[in-house]
């Protein structure tokens, strides 16, 4: 049973660039949530997708956007990258609504220089 | 604004010790509380607690929720070096769609 997968594992970008991170949910799950984890902090909720729609959003600017595909996989896009966007980006999948029991992928480490 | 406070922030013990990790929360429309263990990257699901006063147990780990006190504890008995990790508490709330608000975590180090 495949767990949550994310790609790429690591990424280095320059300020002002754009980045796309990808997530495939655990088999049987239909909801994807994205979190940002800065060094030494707990993960912070970015947004959640269900039925290809953004259902809830955390306190992140519009530079952060996402998409969910019919196969439930998801993308996180960040535009106009800032140094402060450097973090571990975690994807979590779950089943149905509400989706509290969330299972996390290994994350994508984004470094902005 | 939703708030989660975990204590202690870090803890160093020896194998065989018992530890208690604390989590206090203030979350809009609280639904349930989850505990995760994070070793390198992905937080690993431990427990989800919805009802107050009912202990959940998995091996040497156990957890209980107190909705009146807006808190939860995670106990680990007979600790092992493999328990060394960051333990994250995450109450779920917000709208009905499920948003987890994480605490800063407790860094547990278990020495042999």
Chain B residue numbers touching A103 (CB-CB < 8 A): 45
SS3 track for A90-109: EEEEECCCCCCCCEECCCEE
CB-nearest to B34 from A31, A50, A100 is A100
Best residue of B99, B104, B106 to probe chain A, by most A CBs closer than 10 Å:
B99
Of chain B, the percentage scoring pLDDT greater than 90 comes to: 78
CB-nearest to B104 from A33, A41, A100 is A41
Predicted confidence (pLDDT) per residue in B74-93, tens digit: 999 999 999 999 999 999 98
Confidence grade of residue B27 (pLDDT, cut at 50, 70, 90): confident
Cβ within 8 Å, pair A100-B103:
no
Task: Map residue A84 onto helix, strand or coil.
Answer: helix
Q: Which of B84, B92, B88 is nearest to B105 (CA)?
A: B88
Q: What is the chain A residue with the closest CA to B41? A: A106
CB-nearest to B97 from A99, A105, A107 is A99
Cβ within 8 Å, pair B103-A55:
no
Mean pLDDT over each residue of chain A, to the nearest integer: 95
Predicted confidence (pLDDT) per residue in A34-92, tens digit: 999 999 999 999 999 999 999 989 999 999 999 999 999 999 999 999 999 999 999 99
Task: Map residue B82 onto helix, strand or coil.
Answer: helix
Q: How far apart are CA A92 and CA A25, in angstroms?
A: 7
Please tell me the distance in Å from B60's CA to the nearest CA on chain A: 21
User: By the CB < 8 Å criterion, does A5 face chain B?
Assistant: no
Residue B21, judged by CB atoms within 10 A of its CB (0-12, 13-18, 19+), counts as: buried
State the pLDDT at residue B103. Answer: 92
Is residue B95 pLDDT above 70, yes or no? no
Q: Which of B56, B105, B73, B34 is nearest to A33 (CA)?
A: B34
Is residue B18 pLDDT above 70, yes or no? yes
Please tell me the distance in Å from A56's CA to the nearest CA on chain B: 7
């Amino acid at each position: 049973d495949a767990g949550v997968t994310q790609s790429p594992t690591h990424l280095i970008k320059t300020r002002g660039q754009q980045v796309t991170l990808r997530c495939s949910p655990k088999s049987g799950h239909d909801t994807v949530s994205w979190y940002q984890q800065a060094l030494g902090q707990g993960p912070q909720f970015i947004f959640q997708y269900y039925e290809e729609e953004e259902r809830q959003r955390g306190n992140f600017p519009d530079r952060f956007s996402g998409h969910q595909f019919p196969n439930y996989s998801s993308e996180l896009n960040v535009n106009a990258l800032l140094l402060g966007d450097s973090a571990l980006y975690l994807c979590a999948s779950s089943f149905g609504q509400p989706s509290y029991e969330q299972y996390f992928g290994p994350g994508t480490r984004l470094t902005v220089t | 604004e939703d708030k989660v406070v975990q204590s202690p922030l870090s803890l160093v013990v020896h194998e065989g010790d018992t530890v208690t990790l604390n989590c206090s929360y203030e979350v809009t429309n609280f639904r349930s509380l989850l505990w995760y263990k994070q070793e390198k990257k992905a937080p690993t699901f431990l427990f989800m607690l919805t009802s107050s006063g009912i202990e959940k147990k998995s091996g040497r780990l156990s957890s209980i929720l107190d909705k009146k006190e807006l808190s939860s504890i995670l106990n680990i008995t007979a600790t092992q070096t493999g328990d060394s990790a960051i333990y994250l508490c995450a109450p779920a709330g917000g709208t009905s769609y499920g948003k987890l608000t994480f605490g800063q975590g407790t860094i547990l180090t278990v020495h042999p």
